[in-house]
Amino acid sequence: MRIGIDLGGTKIEALALDHKGTELLRYRVDTPREDYPGTIAAIAGLVRRLETETGATGTVGAGIPGSVSRRTGLVKNANSTWLNGKPLAEDLSAELAREVRVANDANCLAVSEATDGAAAGHHVVFGVILGTGCGGGVAIDGTVHAGPNGVGGEWGHNPLPWPTTDESPGPACYCGKFGCMEMWASGTGVARDFLQVTGRALTTRQIVALAETGDVEALQALDRLEDRLARGLSNIINVLDPDIFVFGGGLSLLKRIYTNLPILLPKYVFGHEADAILVPAKFGDSSGVRGAAWLWPAQ
């Protein structure tokens, strides 16, 4: 049995899979925000509950909104900031008396979809998370590629390519830089951009709903989002050239991006050819927790 943990800023989800990838049980609890010991206890409690109710012991993998430094073993780059600087993998392993593998949640998305999801059978998979923030992860032959610095696929903290005068230097990002992709190609970014352009303070959900009614300003906001996505993803193609892009997060539900991005991408990709496949995640919000379970290969 494999157990996957998806550690988010507001909830912790745990999933048990059998050796074929069939879901056995799933539970979710609120994240003890700003409480690191409580977070460890909550994860361990979920694992023990799954094992008690299935009568089996499982391997454990966890996806987190950050990464583990190979140099120090400590969490870094997590927007759940109480995790940063903590030996999460070590502490979970000690609490559960077994090795716990920890990876970035976007990498878990990529692994999940490469294993038995929308990207199954593809060699190089780039997972794109378009949610409150903007993240990315890489799977090669179904295995996470995090790199020696643990930041493989982190396109959200690269600058928006070829910014216009209105886009430069761009809004300040929590990472300390300006104009990061996360500040443009995310739910937060769409709402901020819409307010700046129109003076109307709406949520991204409201903007999308307005666009569906034909509201010109809302449609223009989505046009800007897609052009910025195309610029950002063109850099991924220029550097990595993945076989397929798999999209997760709330903005991945925008059906129009799968029609419009293939038209926009050749404008920005070197050589003006962009034949990568673009698809929504097969498992949706469950991709991260499934990918965490798949951090362990079949026994």
Lowest mean pLDDT among 43-47, 129-133, 203-207, 280-284: 129-133
Q: What's the pLDDT tens digit per position in 168-187? A: 999 999 888 999 999 999 99
Q: 2-104+288-293, what's its fold?
A: Nucleotidyltransferase; domain 5 (3.30.420)
Whether residue 275 contacts residue 80, with contact meaning beta carbons closer than 8 Å, is answered with no
Taking CA atoms, 111 is separated from 95, 166, 197, 279, in Å, by 26, 37, 38, 15
Those residues with Cβ within 8 angstroms of residue 118's Cβ, 6 or more apart along the chain or in another chain: 244, 246, 279, 280, 281, 282
What pLDDT band is residue 78 in, cutting at 50, 70 and 90? confident
What the block records as the tokens of 242 is 């993945």
For residue 147 the two structure tokens come to 């790199």
Amino acid at 110: A
Is pLDDT at 271 greater than 90 in this prediction? yes
Q: Residue 144: pLDDT band by 50, 70, 90 thresholds? A: confident
Q: Indicate whether 117 pLDDT > 70.
A: yes
Residue 161, preceding peptide bond in cis (omega within 30° of 0): no
pLDDT, greater one: 131 or 212: 212
What is the phi/psi pair of residue 13, to 5°?
-115, 140
Q: What is the distance between the alpha carbons of residues 199 and 191, in angstroms, rounded to a whole number?
A: 11
Q: Which percentage of the chain shows pLDDT scores above 70?
A: 99
**What's the confidence (pLDDT) of residue 66?**
87
State which of 19-33, 60-74, 260-274 shows the largest mean pLDDT. Answer: 260-274
- 8 Å CB contact between 12 and 45: no
Domain 118-281 sits in which CATH superfamily? ATPase, nucleotide binding domain (3.30.420.40)
Q: CATH topology of 2-104+288-293 equal to that of 118-281?
A: yes
Query: Is residue 298 scored above 80 in pLDDT?
Result: no
Q: What is the mean pLDDT of residues 183-210?
A: 96
pLDDT, one tens digit per residue, over 253-264 is 999 999 999 999
- Residue ranges per domain, the chain? 2-104+288-293, 118-281
pTM equals 0.84
